[in-house]
Amino acid sequence: MSEVRDDRQYTETHEWILDNGDGTYTMGVTDHAQALLGDMVFVELPGAGDEASQEDEFCVVESVKAASGVYAPADLEVVEANEELDGEPELVNSSCYDDGWLVKFKADGIEGLMSAEDYADTLD
């Protein structure tokens, strides 16, 4: 069974978003997504200050098996990208909800996300 955490929200495209409570959000891919993709070998991330519109593909995670786009859940500005992933993309596999986060961004709220419970239901 894939792990789904209660403290954050989810998208249909298997991203998780954690509200940091200060107008910033942290985002990554879910346990379900990393398991499906398999060994991560490369992560292409935007830089701090980059902007993306809702639904833009603004990151790419590449496993041995496939490349997968990561989509902006809102109109946003990137605050920080996880530089650790440059040398250690496998953190997305081993710690997708903690050390393997992808980006932190600023946004004026986010709408239309799923609760942990609803997301878990989609995985059944």
User: Which of 56, 62, 75, 84 is in the footprint of other proteins by CB under 8 A?
Assistant: 62
Residue 67 interacting with other proteins (CB under 8 A):
yes
**Least distance from C-beta 20 to other proteins, angstroms?**
29
User: Which of 20, 48, 55, 65 is in the footprint of other proteins by CB under 8 A?
Assistant: 65
Residue 38 interacting with other proteins (CB under 8 A):
yes
DSSP 23: S
Q: Name the H helices within 1-124.
A: 31-37, 84-87, 91-94, 116-122
- Listing from the earlier edge strand, what are the strands of the sheet with 67-71? 40-44, 57-63, 67-71
Q: Please answer whether residues 4 and 116 qualify as being in contact, where contact means their C-beta atoms are separated by less than 8 angstroms.
A: yes
Which positions from 2 to 31 touch other proteins by CB under 8 A, shown as an x/- string?
------------------------------
Helix or strand holding residue 24 (H, E): strand 24-29
Helix or strand holding residue 111 (H, E): none
- Binding residues for other proteins, per CB under 8 A? 38-39, 41-42, 44, 60, 62, 64-67, 90, 93
